[in-house]
């Protein structure tokens, strides 16, 4: 079970985090380069209305189909969905490119928050072409 999660963590040393969201489907499972990044994403998704729903929408639609996040009504469902996303990330060279893309994407979200002081920081950065899409 969760062979793709195991394979990708083994190849990247990413951190796996599962948490309950404030809105929408109940749980998210996510892989990030550091736990600090996972905590930042969790804080965004469980925090104030606009940043939470904006990030949730962006991760679901705008971050690229290979962004390492899964959602579900239970933690196991969320991990199952994450495992399905990671099934598309195969081959050593592809994993390296994907890993760097995920790191750059999360950093671009965090930089957007630092640069744009509005609660709409992701929308502003997206419109300005400042966000990295996971490839």
Do the domain assignments include residue 134? no
At 23 the pLDDT is 65
- Please provide residue 132's backbone torsions phi and psi, each rounded to the nearest 5 degrees: -90, 135
Going from the C-alpha of 62 to that of each of 55, 101, 133, the distances in angstroms are 9, 14, 7
pTM for the model stands at 0.85
Do the domain assignments include residue 135? no
Q: Residue 78's Cα: distance from chain center in Å?
A: 12
* Contact status, residue 19 vs residue 88, Cβ threshold 8 Å: no
CB atoms within 10 A of CB 120: 15
Exposure string (b/e) for 74-93, b if CB count within 10 Å is 16 or more?
Answer: ebebbbbbbbebbeebeeee
List per-residue pLDDT tens for the chain, 135 residues long.
999 999 999 999 999 999 988 766 689 899 999 999 999 888 888 877 777 777 777 776 556 678 899 989 999 999 999 999 999 999 988 899 999 999 988 888 888 888 887 777 777 887 888 877 787
Q: Domain residues for 45?
A: 3-127
At 10 the pLDDT is 95
Do the domain assignments include residue 82? yes
Domains held by the chain: number: 1
Distance CA 84, CA 94 (A): 16
Do the domain assignments include residue 132? no
Do the domain assignments include residue 97? yes
Do the domain assignments include residue 80? yes
Do the domain assignments include residue 36? yes
25: left (phi > 0), else alpha (psi -120 to 50), else beta?
beta
Do the domain assignments include residue 51? yes
């Amino acid at each position: 079970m969760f062979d793709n999660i195991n394979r990708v963590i083994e190849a990247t040393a990413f951190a796996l985090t599962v948490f309950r969201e404030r809105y929408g489907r109940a749980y998210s499972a996510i892989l990030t380069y550091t736990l600090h990044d996972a905590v930042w994403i969790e804080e965004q998704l469980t925090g104030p209305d606009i940043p939470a729903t904006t990030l949730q929408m962006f991760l679901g639609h705008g971050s690229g189909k290979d962004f390492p996040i899964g959602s579900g009504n239970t933690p196991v469902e969320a991990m199952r969905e994450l495992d399905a996303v990671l099934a598309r990330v195969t081959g050593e060279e592809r994993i390296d490119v994907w890993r760097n893309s995920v790191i750059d994407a999360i950093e671009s979200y965090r930089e957007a928050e630092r640069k744009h002081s509005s609660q709409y920081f992701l929308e502003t950065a997206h419109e300005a072409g400042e966000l990295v899409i996971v490839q």
